[in-house]
Amino acid sequence: MESFRVTVVDEHFVAEDDFEAADEQAALAKALRSALDIAAEQVSAGKPFFGAEVTLSRGEAVLSRMVVSVGVSPLKNG
């Protein structure tokens, strides 16, 4: 298992977490799940849009940088 760090940054906070994964692909999947979990919490709490930069790193090396965004919009009935 390798050690990785995921950092999620939006306009209000910075969240970081160190974790272990079998490889870079598994770490990337975990990083995206972490960001989507935060987005789901924010949107379900009433925020209409969540956007954040997600960075995956191993040691000092940045492996991936992504933008994750989730929004919600009501639909008109009938």
In a domain, 78, yes or no: no
Give residue-wise pLDDT tens across range 10-20: 988 899 999 99
How many domains does one find in the chain?
1
In a domain, 11, yes or no: yes
In a domain, 76, yes or no: no
Contact 64, 56 (CB under 8 A): yes
Q: How far apart are the first and last CA of the chain?
A: 52
Give residue-wise pLDDT tens across range 18-67: 999 999 999 999 999 999 999 999 999 999 999 999 999 999 999 999 99
Q: How far apart are CA 27 and CA 13, in angstroms?
A: 22
Global confidence as pTM: 0.85
Domain span holding position 23: 2-71
In a domain, 45, yes or no: yes
In a domain, 41, yes or no: yes
Picking from 66, 51, 63, the residue whose alpha carbon sits closest to that of residue 27 is 63
